[in-house]
Amino acid sequence: MSRFITVAHRRLLDRLWPWLCAASVALSLLMLTALLTLLLVRGLGHFWPASLEEITLRSGDVVAGQAIRETPLPQKIGNERLYFTGNRDIDGASWRWVDVDNIIARTTPADLIRLERAPWGDFIGRLESLEADGQRMMGQAAWDYLAAALALPADQRPTGQLLLTTADGQALSQPLSTTSRALAPNAMSWGQKTRLWGSSVWQFLSEGPRAANTSGGVWPAIFGTVLMVILMSVIVTPFGVLAAIYLNEIAHQNRLTRLVRIGVRNLAGVPSIVYGVFGLGVFVYGIGGTLDTWFFSATLPSPTFGTGGLLWASLTLALLTLPVVIVATEEGLARIPDAQREGAMALGATRLEMLTRVVLPMTVPAMLTGVILAVARAAGEVAPLMLVGVAKLAPQMPVDGEFPYLHLERKFMHLGYHLFDTAFHGEDVQAAMPLVYATALLLVLIVLVLNLTAIFLRHYFRRQRGNEC
Amino acid sequence: MLASFDSAPASQAPVTHFSPEHCALSIDRFNLAYAGKPALRELTLSVPRHRVTAFIGPSGCGKSTLLRAINRLHDLNESVKHSGHIELEGQDIYAPQTNVTELRRRVGMVFQTPNPFPMSIYENVAFGLRLQQRLPKRQRDDIIEWALTSAALWDEVKDRLHRSAWQLSGGQQQRLVIARTLAVQPDVLLLDEPASALDPISTLKIEELIRNLKSQLTLVLVTHNMQQAARVSDYTAFLQDGELVEYGPTDQVFTNPHLQRTENYITGRMT
Identify the domain boundary among A107, A138, A169: A107
Cβ proximity of B91 and B98 under 8 Å: yes
Q: Give the torsion sign (CA, A335, A466, B156, B153).
A: negative
- In the 8-state DSSP scheme, what is residue A102? G
Range of the domain at A87: 53-107
In chain A, helix, strand, coil percent, each to 5? Answer: 60, 15, 25
User: Which of A344, A348, A467 comes nearest B105 by C-beta?
Assistant: A348
Q: Provide CB contacts within 8 A for A1, sequence distance 6+.
A: none
Peptide bond into A74 cis (omega under 30): no
Structural domain includes residue B12: no
Q: Which of A440, A432, A441, A467 is nearest to A213 (CA)?
A: A432
Structural domain includes residue B4: no
Structural domain includes residue A64: yes
Tell if the CB–CB gap between B131 and A465 is shorter than 8 Å: no
User: Which of B111, B132, B164 comes nearest A467 by C-beta?
Assistant: B164
Cβ proximity of A147 and A182 under 8 Å: yes
Q: Same domain for A393 and A265?
A: yes
Alpha-carbon gap, residue A217 to A200, rounded angstroms: 9
Amino acid at A387: L
Instruction: Read off φ and ψ for residue A24, nearest 5 degrees.
Output: -65, -45
Alpha-carbon gap, residue B94 to A106, rounded angstroms: 99
Q: Same domain for A98 and A133?
A: no
User: Which of A252, A347, A362 comes nearest B131 by C-beta?
Assistant: A347
**What distances in angstroms separate CA A466 from CA A362, A366, B120, B123, one per listed residue?**
9, 14, 10, 14
Structural domain includes residue B7: no
Q: Same domain for A188 and A264?
A: no
Structural domain includes residue B14: no
Cβ neighbours of B77 in A, within 8 Å: none
Tell if the CB–CB gap between A345 and B76 is shorter than 8 Å: yes
Structural domain includes residue B164: yes
In 3-state terms, what secondary structure has residue B52? strand
Q: Same domain for A274 and A421?
A: yes
Instruction: Read off φ and ψ for residue B217, nearest 5 degrees.
Output: -150, 180
**What distances in angstroms separate CA B235 from CA A260, B50, B119, one per listed residue?**
50, 11, 37
CATH code of the domain in which B263 resides: 3.40.50.300
As for how many domains chain B has, the answer is 1
Structural domain includes residue A389: yes
**What distances in angstroms separate CA A192 from CA A184, A187, A207, one per listed residue?**
11, 10, 21
Instruction: Mutate one of B70, B72, B98, B104 to test the A interface: name it (highest A CB count within 10 A).
Output: B104
Shortest Cα distance from A359 to chain B (angstroms)? 9
Range of the domain at B215: 20-267
Q: What is the Cα Rg of chain A in Å?
A: 30
Strands A95-99 vs A103-107: parallel, antiparallel or unpaired: unpaired
Q: Same domain for A180 and A329?
A: no
Structural domain includes residue B107: yes
**What distances in angstroms separate CA A261 from CA A375, B67, B77, one per listed residue?**
22, 34, 21
Residue A34's H or E segment, with its range, is helix A2-45
Shortest Cα distance from A341 to chain B (angstroms)? 9
Q: Roughly what angle, to the nearest 10 degrees, separates helices A219-245 and A429-463?
A: 40
Q: What is the pLDDT along chain A (469 residues), one digit of tens a residue?
A: 555 678 888 888 889 999 999 999 999 999 999 999 998 888 888 888 888 888 888 888 888 888 888 888 887 778 888 888 888 888 878 888 888 888 888 888 888 888 888 777 788 888 888 888 778 888 788 888 888 888 887 777 778 888 888 888 888 888 888 887 888 888 888 898 899 889 888 888 888 777 666 667 788 888 888 889 999 999 999 999 999 999 998 888 889 999 999 999 898 888 999 999 999 999 888 888 888 888 877 777 777 777 778 889 999 999 999 999 999 999 999 988 888 888 898 888 888 999 998 899 888 888 888 888 888 888 888 889 888 888 777 767 777 777 777 777 788 888 888 888 888 876 667 777 888 888 888 888 888 887 788 788 878 877 766 544 3
Q: Same domain for A59 and A186?
A: no
User: Which of B102, B127, B164 comes nearest A469 by C-beta?
Assistant: B164
Q: Provide CB contacts within 8 A for A235, sequence distance 6+.
A: A314, A315, A318
As for how many domains chain A has, the answer is 3
- Residue A339 CA to its chain's centroid (Å): 46
Q: Which of A159, A189, A75, A166 is nearest to A115 (CA)?
A: A166
Residues in chain B: 271
Structural domain includes residue A204: no
Alpha-carbon gap, residue A78 to A443, rounded angstroms: 39
Q: B interface toward A at CB cutoff 8 Å?
A: 71, 73, 76, 78, 101-102, 104-105, 108-109, 111, 113, 115-120, 123, 127-128, 131-132, 162-164, 166-167, 177, 180-181, 184
Q: Same domain for A415 and A269?
A: yes
Amino acid at B12: Q
Cβ neighbours of A251 in B, within 8 Å: none
Structural domain includes residue A173: yes
ipTM of this predicted structure: 0.83
Q: Same domain for A128 and A88?
A: no
Write out the DSSP string of A335-397: HS-HHHHHHHHHTT--HHHHIIIIIHHHHHHHHHHHHHHHHHHHHH--HHHHHHTB-SS-SS-
Amino acid at A218: V
Which residue of chain B comes nearest to A358, CA vs CA? B117
Structural domain includes residue B159: yes
Q: What is the pLDDT along chain B (271 residues), one digit of tens a residue?
A: 444 444 444 556 667 777 777 888 888 889 998 888 888 888 888 899 899 999 998 888 888 889 889 988 888 777 888 888 898 888 888 888 888 888 888 999 998 888 899 888 999 999 988 888 888 889 889 999 999 988 888 888 888 888 888 888 888 898 899 999 999 889 999 999 888 878 888 888 889 888 888 888 999 999 888 888 888 999 999 988 888 888 989 988 888 888 888 888 888 775 5
Amino acid at A39: L
Report H helices in chain B: 63-70, 100-106, 121-132, 137-150, 154-157, 170-182, 200-213, 226-232, 250-255, 260-266
Structural domain includes residue A379: yes
- Residue A109 CA to its chain's centroid (Å): 37
Cβ neighbours of B116 in A, within 8 Å: 343
Structural domain includes residue B252: yes
Alpha-carbon gap, residue B180 to B124, rounded angstroms: 6
- In the 8-state DSSP scheme, what is residue A290? H
Instruction: Mutate one of A253, A340, A347, A467 to test the B interface: name it (highest B CB count within 10 A).
Output: A347
Q: Same domain for A94 and A188?
A: no
Q: Same domain for A345 and A231?
A: yes
User: Which of B76, B120, B181 comes nearest A347 by C-beta?
Assistant: B181
Write out the DSSP string of A47-90: TS-PPPEEEEETTS-EEEEEEEEEEEPGGGS-EEEEEE---HHH
Q: Same domain for A98 and A138?
A: no
Peptide bond into A301 cis (omega under 30): yes
Cβ neighbours of A469 in B, within 8 Å: 119-120, 123, 162-164
CATH code of the domain in which A297 resides: 1.10.3720.10
Tell if the CB–CB gap between A348 and B127 is shorter than 8 Å: no
Tell if the CB–CB gap between B128 and A465 is shorter than 8 Å: no
